């Protein structure tokens, strides 16, 4: 048998209900479901490891993680909604957003993309057009990210 991972503290049932109340409030304020889902996931994650009603412990927990500054900022934003809804006093930490580096495709990458293209047979001149245009750089940059 393998070793068992460190046990997590499961969020108390009332914490789950409190998170649901925050999400319902955000939905009533017009937030899209595509925003609510990540907020809920982040709040549930925090609730597994720390008491959400203790802002100083939440700050400390987020600061100790080896996450990127961008992800820490997203966790803080999710928690901000919780704090505002329940009227907690909290000094919100600021995490500086980092710009992502974009990988510019090499000519080898461009040739691979063209060779795997299904449009090659339908439009014989398309591969040479794409190879010589900046459009493929944009397409391949999206693929590489």
Whether 98 maps to a domain, the answer reads no
pLDDT on residue 117: 66
Whether 66 maps to a domain, the answer reads yes
Whether 136 maps to a domain, the answer reads yes
Domain that holds residue 123: 107-144
Whether 92 maps to a domain, the answer reads no
Helix axes 55-64, 69-86, angle to 10 degrees: 170
30 and 69 share one domain: yes
Whether 100 maps to a domain, the answer reads no
In tens, the pLDDT along 5-37 reads: 444 555 566 788 899 999 999 999 998 988 899
Whether 91 maps to a domain, the answer reads no
pLDDT on residue 6: 45
93 burial (CB, 10 Å; 0-12 / 13-18 / 19+) is: middle
34 and 71 share one domain: yes
Whether 94 maps to a domain, the answer reads no
pLDDT of residue 128 exceeding 90, the answer is: no
70 and 41 share one domain: yes
Domain count, the chain: 2
In tens, the pLDDT along 62-100 reads: 999 999 888 999 999 999 999 999 999 988 888 877 777
Asked if 57 contacts 51 with a C-beta cutoff of 8 angstroms, the reply is yes
Asked if 120 contacts 89 with a C-beta cutoff of 8 angstroms, the reply is no
17 and 78 share one domain: yes
72 and 18 share one domain: yes
Whether 1 maps to a domain, the answer reads no
17 and 57 share one domain: yes
């Amino acid at each position: 048998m393998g070793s068992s991972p460190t046990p997590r503290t499961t969020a108390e049932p009332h914490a789950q209900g409190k998170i649901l109340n925050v999400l319902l409030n955000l939905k009533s304020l017009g937030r899209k479901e595509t925003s609510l889902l990540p907020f809920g996931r982040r709040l549930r994650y925090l609730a597994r490891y720390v008491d959400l009603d203790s802002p100083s412990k939440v700050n400390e927990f987020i600061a100790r993680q080896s996450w990127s500054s961008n992800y820490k900022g997203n966790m803080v934003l999710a928690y901000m909604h919780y704090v505002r809804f329940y009227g907690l006093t909290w000094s919100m930490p600021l995490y500086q957003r980092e710009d992502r580096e974009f990988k510019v495709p090499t000519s080898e990458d461009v040739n691979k993309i063209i060779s795997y293209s299904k449009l090659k047979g339908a439009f014989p001149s398309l591969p040479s057009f794409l190879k010589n245009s900046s459009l493929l750089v944009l397409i391949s940059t999206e693929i590489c990210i």
